[in-house]
């Protein structure tokens, strides 16, 4: 079948080929995608479809994913661009005019070769026990500073009253 039917691969074409690589038949894949069997056969048999099928199949084998179903169309594209991207970073590292660009590229190379260093977050918990009297003294001090709202003081923010004033009256 001529490639005139498939001028460029569409997103659903990738999904079709992925299903075929994972072992589905064209009929099963067509039904899952809601496409006609004839149309799916045309995509699969086209030179572009065959080339994509071979690339996805090679990627599955290379990564030891046979039967695991973990390959995705985007991973195939990224895997193919991996070497070029690595060379670009190394070239930047070597020839960048700005030191910050060269440092960033060098850092990326090291991170990719050795993995990013773990980020540790130091955390501490302070547990404090207060007597009722201590808590009241702290609340009184905060009230003097004007940092407690009516609600925190025990007042009713909706009525604008202070429950302590009501208790006294």
| Of 63, 50, 54, 55, residue with least CA distance to 3 | 50
pTM above 0.75, yes or no: no
- For residue 30, the model assigns a pLDDT of 94
User: Which pLDDT does position 154 carry in this prediction?
Assistant: 58
Q: Specify if 76 maps to a domain.
A: no
Number of domains in the chain: 3
Based on the fold, state whether residues 88 and 66 are members of the same structural domain.
no
Residues 67 and 92 in one domain: no
90 shares a domain with 37: no
Same domain for 89 and 66, yes or no, is no
> How confident is the model at residue 9, as a pLDDT?
81
Tell me, what's the pLDDT at 155?
53
* Residue 28 domain flag: yes
Output the pLDDT for position 41: 92
For the chain, which ranges sit under pLDDT 50?
1-4, 66-67, 157, 159-161, 163-169
The predicted pLDDT at position 1 comes to: 42
- The domain of 143 spans 132-168
11 & 66 share domain: yes
């Amino acid at each position: 079948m001529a490639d005139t039917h498939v001028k460029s691969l569409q997103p659903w074409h990738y999904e079709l080929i992925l299903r075929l690589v994972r072992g589905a038949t064209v009929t099963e894949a067509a039904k899952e995608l809601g496409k006609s069997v004839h149309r799916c056969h045309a995509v699969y048999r086209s030179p572009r479809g065959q080339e994509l099928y071979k690339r996805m199949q090679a990627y599955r084998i290379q990564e030891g994913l046979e039967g695991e179903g973990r390959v995705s169309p985007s991973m195939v594209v990224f895997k193919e661009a991996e070497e070029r991207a690595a060379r670009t970073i190394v070239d930047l590292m070597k020839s960048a005019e700005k030191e910050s660009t060269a440092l960033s590229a060098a850092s990326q190379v090291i991170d990719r070769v050795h993995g990013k260093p773990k980020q540790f977050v130091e955390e501490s918990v302070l547990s404090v026990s207060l007597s009722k009297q201590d808590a009241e003294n702290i609340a009184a001090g905060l009230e003097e500073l004007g940092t407690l709202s009516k609600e925190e003081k025990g007042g009713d923010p909706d009525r604008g009253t202070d429950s302590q004033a009501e208790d006294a009256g």
